[in-house]
Amino acid sequence: MKVILIADVKKVGQRGTLVTVADGYAQNVLIPRKLALPATVENLKKFEREKNAVQSKIALDEAFAKRALADLNGKTIQVIAKANEKEKLFETIHAKTVIEAIAKEYNVSLDSSALTFKDGPIKTLGSHRVIIAVQSAKAEVFVEVIKK
């Protein structure tokens, strides 16, 4: 029996795939547990519409990310932190702090996994390069750490 998987199923397939399984397995396991739908013409059309909607949303999100990162590219973000006389910070600056500064200054929300510190977490005063990568878009920003 052909079914459309609506959830990932081990040893069968991933969500959104059309697979052929034994009739008993489909009728007694997959369909009652709402892991799959019978591959009727109506269900295939419905699933195709949903798939197209998701793809268009992904494309829209990617376009927004590219535009936002193009605006951020080359900008300087200022972060204020406590430091000693040797310009060494009392507390390391991590991605979360930089993301909060970007959100406050440029009104762009990012995930911490999008940031890559060129030289590791920031531990000293001065300017530091940070790479932001979201999907296929990249930007390089400078984080200026100022003594409090």
Between 49 and 109, residue with greater pLDDT: 49
User: What confidence score (pLDDT) does residue 113 get?
Assistant: 84
User: What confidence score (pLDDT) does residue 130 get?
Assistant: 92
For 38-86, the pLDDT digits (tens) are 999 999 999 889 888 888 887 777 788 788 888 889 999 999 999 998 8
Superfamily of 67-147 according to CATH: Ribosomal protein L9, C-terminal domain (3.10.430.100)
| In the chain, ranges of CATH 3.10.430.100 domains | 67-147
Show the tokens assigned to 116: 């890559």
Residues 6+ positions from 63 with CB-CB distance below 8 Å: none
| In the chain, ranges of CATH 3.40.5.10 domains | 2-61
% of residues, the chain, pLDDT over 90: 52
User: What confidence score (pLDDT) does residue 50 get?
Assistant: 86
Report the chain's mean pLDDT, rounded to a whole number.
Answer: 89
pTM of the model: 0.60
Judge whether residue 135 has pLDDT over 90: no
Nearest to 101 by CA among 136, 72, 134: 72
For the chain, the straight-line distance linking the first and the last C-alpha, in angstroms and rounded, comes to: 68
What is 2-61's CATH number, 2.40.50.140, 3.40.50.300, 3.40.5.10, 3.40.50.2300? Answer: 3.40.5.10
User: What confidence score (pLDDT) does residue 58 get?
Assistant: 78
Average pLDDT (101-127) is 87
Average pLDDT (102-122) is 85
% of residues, the chain, pLDDT over 70: 100
Show the tokens assigned to 95: 């991605």
